[in-house]
Amino acid sequence: MTNSFDDIPFFDEEPAPRKNPEPAAGGLGIAARAMAARDQRRAAPDYLSGLNPEQREAVETLDGPVLVLAGAGTGKTRVLTTRIAHILATGRAFPSQMLAVTFTNKAAREMKERIGVLVGGAVEGMPWLGTFHSIGVKLLRRHAELAGLRSDFTILDTDDVIRLIKQLIQAEGLDDKRWPARQFAGMIDGWKNKGLLPKDIPEGDARAFANGKGRELYAAYQARLKSLNACDFGDLLLHPIAIFRQNPDVLKDYHDRFRYILVDEYQDTNTAQYMWLRLLAQRPKGVAQNVCCVGDDDQSIYGWRGAEVDNILRFEKDFPGAKVIKLERNYRSTEHILGAAGHLIAHNEGRLGKTLFTDRVDPDDEKVIVHAAWDSEEEARAVGEEIERLQRGDGNGNSGGKKHALNDMAILVRASFQMREFEDRFVTLGLNYRVIGGPRFYERLEIRDAMAYFRLTCQPADDLAFERIVNTPKRGLGDTTVRYLHDYARARDIPMLAAASEIIETDELKPKARKALFDLVQNFRNWQQKLEAVTHLELAEQILEESGYTDMWKNDKSAEAPGRLENLKELIRSMEAFESMRGFLEHVSLVMEAEQNEDMDAVSIMTLHSAKGLEFDTVFLPGWEEGLFPHQRALDEGGRSGLEEERRLAYVGITRAKHRCHIWFVSNRRIHGLWQSTMPSRFLDELPPSHVEVAASDNSYGGYGGRGGYGQSRFDKAEPFANSYSTPGWRRAQANRTDATRDNWGTRSGHAVERIGYGESGPRGRTIEGELVAKSVADTPSKFSIGDRVFHIKFGNGNISAIEGNKLTIDFDKAGQKRVLDGFVERV
DNA sequence: GATAGCCGTATTTTT
DNA sequence: TACGGCTATC
């Protein structure tokens, strides 16, 4: 989509002379610059001391485009914040003249705090430091009319969007099962990430959905948003882009305002964000574009949601004369950790190429340790033991003696289903843990319902909110009534709440429905009036009471009802920090997060994705198996670049560790309820033996084998690997295992076992093979019959009690009833 | 109009 | 296995 930039207006005219009493912009006053240089020679300000030469260069190169390639743990945030402090301290710009964008609210918050420390608390004055989206909202509220919106537009979240699209699909007379709204929402999101409006989308894309009506549907969606006075997340970027393009005077205002632009995590920018940035960074010819982007191509892990690593790779082309500064001195990790991570990531092509190094040399530092476990249960158990050992400070290797806080440890998983096993284990152990990420507070059902009431009170035109709560709690306003309301509103081109208040004056509805609707409309009229009269906290409570919403949950006898009521209380509490209901709504739509309890000492469990930017003393990386990590789907859908992104994810995982990094893989994992045999991740193969150590069977292979009653078995033959997974013969060992795997299980009848070669796709022509894929082939007749006595390598002996295709339900003597693929059992 | 069971599906996630 | 969404039923 790079050619979409051809039509970005370029300003050739001279910049307007600055008449405001602001400090001289960079490059304007020679004398001023000379004086600054002199001052600098005299004494570098404190905030600069302690920076290494590269960091310092990144901070002090203020004129022109700068790309800072900041490897993991190289002090990226420090550079960014110091740079801002430096610009302020040297009088180059006022806080309000800097645009600083981040991706997450967390990053924005952290940056604000750290600048505050450096500058001394005056950061309130940085109005343009925030996420792409929050700055987008701010721009759009100022110029809403230029996008055909009112400045009090609502921001819809994914859930609203899907419901809306579903309506549109149905309105088109299409089958909403054949054309799922969720999928189309994803497509729209993808287009918007690329900066494409309905007219811009590729013909193929447009035809691929809804019997060729993709483009019309997208256009209809945009029209509907406008009539709802609403935006989705993508619009927060796209509308400003359109406004800038169509209103050069508006854009010029911002050009004059923003003397310095800073972008964090540049490798995560998508095309739309890039366009947005380009428009704002564009300067008249000959005037320096003071853009500073900070990022790390090796940590680009959001390609799947539209991030374009390319943006960072071609920065120098986009911003001619750009200075590229690499930060490679790592202050976080041991040399073993860096060595392992560096060797792994070197398998990727198409990188800008950095090698992290550290000065710290400590012979006591542990290597990265790779552990094998029999299955995911054992993996969780062993990780739990290791955590407890560290916590106690037992003498295990080099961590001996010292006690470690749980707060300093984290388990980073590829996919969230892996978390459960750890949680279960930690609950039985009584080990504190916290799950980071996961279902978020504002996404909970009861919170969304409550929010819908608040939204509708503030915004009577919010039809989505109306539809959400019109019959929640149940008040006898079912589909029929709602559809009638909907049609009526559409026909008159008025919001549904307005339609409702007209309809209750007529005899259209049955008395029962009419009464219910009348009460609802009255309630909203009442609440709207109170908006100015009472505090938003009181109002919020009243709304939830008077609507019957709290009663609904009080009368609900289910187990989760009390929790939901508690959440509602929490919601009201969290409103305290805001001045008005409107302010609160805005906050929630942009900041979909709620704070975690930081006080307790607990192990963190999270996905690799949400671990980016964090660091821990000890990191556990479970689940390094083919199919899970790299994830099969990333391979299938992303091919080669998918594999590289997975590898970057692995790199991110390892580089989170300061001192200890433990990697695990298992031989058996339950996937969708079926036990499957798994192979070690190819990434294990890509770790350098010099920095990695294979744990001697610290996991109890033998003992465990006995535990389940299936003791010595042919498994011992199939598993030469666990013990011989030792450094020099690593590859050979793996080859052995692959063969063993195939010999024992692979050639069974029935299910398909495929070997997939990655001949072309492997880095440097390397052949990656041995992908074991057990496909569900339901129509292949099983060679087993009900009642057969069979042996399973994990569960031992049992009798088949049911067969569905190649899936067997077996009553095992020791392990109880399990469902397994027929390839993993053998008749005895 | 409300509810019980059935079917299909199943990464990663911020805003 | 586990959940959500939809259909069929009362």
A251, two tokens? 């854009």
A275, two tokens? 């366009």
Looking at residue A735, its pLDDT comes to 33
How confident is the prediction for chain A on average, in pLDDT?
80
A383, two tokens? 């990780």
Give me the amino acid identity at A28.
L
Strand C contact at CB of residue A713, distance < 7 A: no
Q: Give the pLDDT band (50/70/90) at residue A371.
A: very high
Q: How far is the CA of A224 from the C1' of C8 (A)?
A: 33
Residues 6+ apart with CB under 8 A from A666: A372, A373, A374, A375, A376, A378, A379, A622, A623, A625, A678
The mean pLDDT of A674-682, rounded to a whole number, is 91
d(CA A244, CA A136): 12
Could you tell me which of A556, A725, A722 has the C-alpha nearest to residue A564? A556
d(CA A350, CA A626): 23
The secondary structure of residue A333, as a DSSP letter, is: S
Strand C contact at CB of residue A817, distance < 7 A: yes
The residue that minimises its CA distance to C1' of B1 is A478
- A71 close to A101: Cβ distance less than 8 angstroms: no
Q: Is the pLDDT of residue A369 over 90?
A: yes
Q: Which nucleotide is nearest to A104 (CA to C1')?
A: B14
In a 13 Å sphere around the CA of A119, the CA atoms on its Cβ side amount to 25
Could you tell me which of A423, A363, A330, A431 has the C-alpha nearest to residue A658? A330
List strand residue ranges (DSSP E) for A315-468, in order.
323-327, 368-375, 409-413, 433-435
Q: How far is the CA of A499 from the C1' of B3 (A)?
A: 30
- A71 close to A327: Cβ distance less than 8 angstroms: yes
The residue that minimises its CA distance to C1' of B8 is A177
The sign of the CA dihedral A15, A19, A22, A25 is: positive
Q: Is A402 helix (H, G, I), strand (E, B) or coil?
A: coil
Could you tell me which of A304, A376, A417 has the C-alpha nearest to residue A643? A304
Q: How far is the CA of A177 from the C1' of C6 (A)?
A: 10
Q: Is the pLDDT of residue A765 over 60?
A: no
A594, two tokens? 């709620």
Strand C contact at CB of residue A672, distance < 7 A: yes
Strand B contact at CB of residue A483, distance < 7 A: no
List the catalytic residues of A: 76-77, 264-265, 299, 656
Query: pLDDT (tens digit, 9 = 90+) per residue, A472-504?
Result: 888 888 878 888 888 899 899 899 999 999 998
The secondary structure of residue A664, as a DSSP letter, is: E
Q: Is the pLDDT of residue A805 over 70?
A: no
Q: Is the pLDDT of residue A726 over 50?
A: no
Q: Which nucleotide is nearest to A182 (CA to C1')?
A: C5
Strand B contact at CB of residue A474, distance < 7 A: yes
Higher-confidence residue of A202 and A701: namely A202
Q: How far is the CA of A476 from the C1' of B3 (A)?
A: 15
Chain C: nucleotides below 7 Å from protein CB are 1-2, 6-7
Q: How far is the CA of A566 from the C1' of C10 (A)?
A: 35
Chain B: nucleotides below 7 Å from protein CB are 1-3, 10-15
Query: pLDDT (tens digit, 9 = 90+) per residue, A605-643?
Result: 999 999 999 999 999 999 999 999 999 999 988 888 899
Strands A674-677 and A657-671: antiparallel
Q: Is the pLDDT of residue A314 over 80?
A: yes
Q: Is A135 helix (H, G, I), strand (E, B) or coil?
A: helix
Alpha helices, DSSP H, located in A346-416: 376-392
Q: Which nucleotide is nearest to A440 (CA to C1')?
A: B13
Higher-confidence residue of A117 and A381: namely A381
Strand C contact at CB of residue A526, distance < 7 A: no
**Neighbouring C-beta atoms of residue A20, cutoff 10 Å:** 7
Angle at A119 between CA A118 and CA A125, to 5 degrees: 130
Strand B contact at CB of residue A477, distance < 7 A: yes
Give me the amino acid identity at A422.
F
Q: How far is the CA of A85 from the C1' of B12 (A)?
A: 35
Q: Is the pLDDT of residue A392 over 80?
A: yes
Looking at residue A268, its pLDDT comes to 93
Residues 411-470 of A with CB under 7 A from strand B: 414-417, 437, 440
d(CA A172, CA A188): 17
- A425 close to A574: Cβ distance less than 8 angstroms: no
Strand B contact at CB of residue A555, distance < 7 A: no
Q: How far is the CA of A104 from the C1' of B11 (A)?
A: 21
Residues 641-680 of A with CB under 7 A from strand B: 642, 646, 672-673
Residues 154-173 of A with CB under 7 A from strand C: 166
Lowest mean pLDDT among A94-98, A335-339, A443-447, A647-651: A443-447
Looking at residue A301, its pLDDT comes to 94
Q: Which nucleotide is nearest to A480 (CA to C1')?
A: B1
- A620 close to A410: Cβ distance less than 8 angstroms: yes
Looking at residue A768, its pLDDT comes to 26
- What distances in angstroms separate CA A823 from CA A677, A715, A777, A792, A817, one per listed residue? 10, 15, 11, 10, 17
- A460 close to A496: Cβ distance less than 8 angstroms: no
Query: pLDDT (tens digit, 9 = 90+) per residue, A683-712?
Result: 999 999 999 999 876 544 332 232 222 222
Q: Is the pLDDT of residue A291 over 90?
A: yes
Looking at residue A124, its pLDDT comes to 65
- A668 close to A678: Cβ distance less than 8 angstroms: yes
Q: Which nucleotide is nearest to A673 (CA to C1')?
A: C1
Strand C contact at CB of residue A178, distance < 7 A: no
Query: pLDDT (tens digit, 9 = 90+) per residue, A53-110?
Result: 999 999 999 999 999 999 999 999 999 999 999 999 899 999 999 999 999 888 998 8
Q: How far is the CA of A288 from the C1' of C7 (A)?
A: 64
The secondary structure of residue A600, as a DSSP letter, is: S
Q: How far is the CA of A672 from the C1' of C2 (A)?
A: 9
Could you tell me which of A572, A584, A590, A594 has the C-alpha nearest to residue A458? A584
Strand B contact at CB of residue A134, distance < 7 A: yes
Query: How far from chain centre, in Å, is Cα A7?
Result: 32
Strand B contact at CB of residue A592, distance < 7 A: yes
List strand residue ranges (DSSP E) for A591-710, in order.
603-607, 616-621, 657-671, 674-677, 692-694
Q: Annotate A536-551 with DSSP letters as a single string.
A: HHHHHHHHHHHTTHHH
The residue that minimises its CA distance to C1' of B10 is A672
Q: Is A434 helix (H, G, I), strand (E, B) or coil?
A: strand
Cis peptide before A495 (omega within 30 of 0): no
Q: How far is the CA of A608 from the C1' of B12 (A)?
A: 8
Looking at residue A664, its pLDDT comes to 96
Q: How far is the CA of A568 from the C1' of B1 (A)?
A: 27
Strand B contact at CB of residue A305, distance < 7 A: yes
Residues 6+ apart with CB under 8 A from A113: none
Higher-confidence residue of A683 and A171: namely A683
Query: pLDDT (tens digit, 9 = 90+) per residue, A573-582?
Result: 888 888 899 8
Highest mean pLDDT among A201-210, A509-518, A539-548, A727-736: A539-548
Q: Which nucleotide is nearest to A670 (CA to C1')?
A: C1
Strand B contact at CB of residue A610, distance < 7 A: yes
Looking at residue A574, its pLDDT comes to 87
Give me the amino acid identity at A113.
E
The mean pLDDT of A795-823, rounded to a whole number, is 77
Q: How far is the CA of A506 from the C1' of B3 (A)?
A: 32
Q: Which nucleotide is nearest to A176 (CA to C1')?
A: C6
Q: Which nucleotide is nearest to A417 (CA to C1')?
A: B11
Q: What is the phi/psi pair of residue A373, to 5°?
A: -135, 160
- What distances in angstroms separate CA A748 from CA A262, A659, A676, A769, A782, one per listed residue? 59, 45, 14, 19, 11
Q: Which nucleotide is nearest to A807 (CA to C1')?
A: C1
Strand C contact at CB of residue A177, distance < 7 A: yes
Looking at residue A766, its pLDDT comes to 23
Query: How far from chain centre, in Å, is Cα A84?
Result: 27
- Residues facing A796 on adjacent strands: A792
